[in-house]
Amino acid sequence: MEEEPPPQPDDPASDHTAAQHKRARSNSDSSVSAASLHSTRTLHDEDLEFVHENGRIYGNDSYYMPCDQPEQDRLTLQHQIYLLALKGKLTTTKVSPKTSRILDLGTGPGDWAVGMAKECPWAEVVGIDMAVWDLDITETTAGDTEVRWEIDNLDVWGIEDEFDDIVLRMERVDLARDLAERDPVDSPARPRAKTSGSNTQPQTPAESAYDLYVLNPDEQPGWHFSDSYDLIHMRGMKGVFGYWEGVYEEVYKTLSPGGWVEVVDYHIDLPQMEQETRNPASFPFPTLAKLHLALLQASVKSGRPLGTYYMHPSYLSDAGFKDVSTTYVNVPIGQWPEDEEQRKIGKLFMVCVMEMLEAHLLRPLTVWGDAERVWSVDEVRSLIVKAKEEILEWNTVMEERREPGRRSVFAGWEWKANFKWIIGRKPLYDL
């Protein structure tokens, strides 16, 4: 029987269509199987608080990305890019008939979960998200599958509200570096003890980098899942949590002995950022660079820093995982590659990047702002238009310069994203 769609507040100003939410995910009141999933549920249908903001729809007040139809379309396109990057594979873990229970956390429109259900018809696949997406579209695209959809808010830790302190410490951090490939020495592996007043004391750069991510809440509640899983998957979860140590502890607890976790995400750097300082006039992305830095600053201010730092192997090994390993794939952005297949991926990903600009930037810059101030909606939107022009212009130049066998023509100007899959195994016996 079809369930009623969740209530959607009216917003005449909205210029985006909300996902139709034809089939709501189940909650503990409406699904017998859901009751076995959790002993403690944090979110119910009636709690869903869709926020209409500047023409976009968000799942709550704290997560930075929208959950409307344009975002669903973008995530589905992005799913194809993940697949192309991994040569059609959905996972870097070894799935066997023993993999009988699979959990996708922050599943979004559920493309990965549906794909896994198709590939592993013997397995029970569960997808959890705090927002409701149009699952009918996903399942129609992917065929007849059995996935159990659940709604839940996984961020049970919240964030520490130390706004001024975070802004102060931000000045000493190289955001582009520290939020991407975090050095293990700077790893915020352990939450610091909360001490009043001490956070504004002078610190060494290493200490400030260490402290930046440690947004340790007073209480450390967990997920309290009552069932265990053989594979837990999380994809595109940067900016969802401010307390990753707690997330990995919960994932570890929720896995069966011998089970695998897989965390997937990507990081985009602008090509040759240092070109900007060497010759500002020739740098093709001045607006994009400005927006990129502002977004990183806003995310830190929000308490949920962006970047793939949360995929550093130290997080997994500190939580107890073994056989931790990472698969890296560089994915081109734009039509510069000589190789036809790569050029096709680059074109698709460029479309995805242009679509993601507003989804990524609008809320962070208009709510939290960069290191100095909160931006206006018009300012963000007009800079996005400019940034898109820069991308298109750069792509045209790169296409014109593309000549077989003359890669040096582009040296340093290729634009790529670094896609990562990190996996770890829960040992059969806890020593």
Q: Which of 57, 116, 240, 311 binds ligand SAM (CB under 6 A)?
A: 240
Neighbours of 403 (CB within 10 A): 10
**117-146 positions binding ligand SAM, by CB under 6 A:** 129-131
Q: Which of 63, 244, 309, 336 binds ligand SAM (CB under 6 A)?
A: 63
**404-423 positions binding ligand SAM, by CB under 6 A:** none
91 binds ligand SAM (CB under 6 A): no
Contact 284, 397 (CB under 8 A): yes
Show Cβ contacts of residue 31 under 8 Å, excluding neighbours closer than 6 positions.
148, 150
- Minimum CB separation of residue 56 from ligand SAM in Å reads 13
236 binds ligand SAM (CB under 6 A): yes
Residue position matching structure tokens 């919960």: 250
Residue position matching structure tokens 């599943």: 107
Closer residue to ligand SAM in complex, CB, 63/349: 63
Q: Which of 26, 27, 28, 107 binds ligand SAM (CB under 6 A)?
A: 107
Q: Please choose, out of 102-110, 198-206, 219-227, 309-317, the segment that lies near ligand SAM by the rule CB under 6 A.
A: 102-110
The two structure tokens encoding residue 298: 């806003």
HSE-up (13 A, CA, CB side) for residue 89: 11
79 binds ligand SAM (CB under 6 A): yes
Residue position matching structure tokens 């964030």: 159
Show Cβ contacts of residue 128 under 8 Å, excluding neighbours closer than 6 positions.
103, 104, 105, 106, 107, 149, 150, 151, 152, 154
Q: How many residues interact with ligand SAM (rule CB under 6 A)?
A: 21
3-state secondary structure of 74: helix
Helices then strands, counting H and E runs in the chain, come out as: 13, 9
- With CB atoms as reference, the residue minimizing the distance to ligand SAM is 108
Closer residue to ligand SAM in complex, CB, 154/289: 154
106 binds ligand SAM (CB under 6 A): yes
- Minimum CB separation of residue 173 from ligand SAM in Å reads 24
Q: Is 236 left (phi over 0), alpha (psi -120 to 50) or beta?
A: left
**33-62 positions binding ligand SAM, by CB under 6 A:** 59
- Minimum CB separation of residue 198 from ligand SAM in Å reads 30
What's the DSSP call for residue 366? I
284 binds ligand SAM (CB under 6 A): no
Closer residue to ligand SAM in complex, CB, 129/211: 129
Question: Which phi and psi angles does 66 have, rounded to 5°?
Answer: -75, 170
Q: Are strands 229-235 and 101-105 parallel, antiparallel or unpaired?
A: parallel
- Minimum CB separation of residue 405 from ligand SAM in Å reads 37
Contact 41, 156 (CB under 8 A): no
- Minimum CB separation of residue 155 from ligand SAM in Å reads 3
Side chain identity at 42, as an amino acid letter? T
- Minimum CB separation of residue 376 from ligand SAM in Å reads 25
Closer residue to ligand SAM in complex, CB, 131/398: 131
365 binds ligand SAM (CB under 6 A): no
Q: What are the E-state strand segments in 75-186?
A: 101-105, 124-129, 147-151
Residue position matching structure tokens 């290729």: 414
Residues in touch with ligand SAM (CB under 6 A): 59, 63, 65, 67, 75, 79, 106-108, 111-112, 129-131, 153-155, 235-237, 240
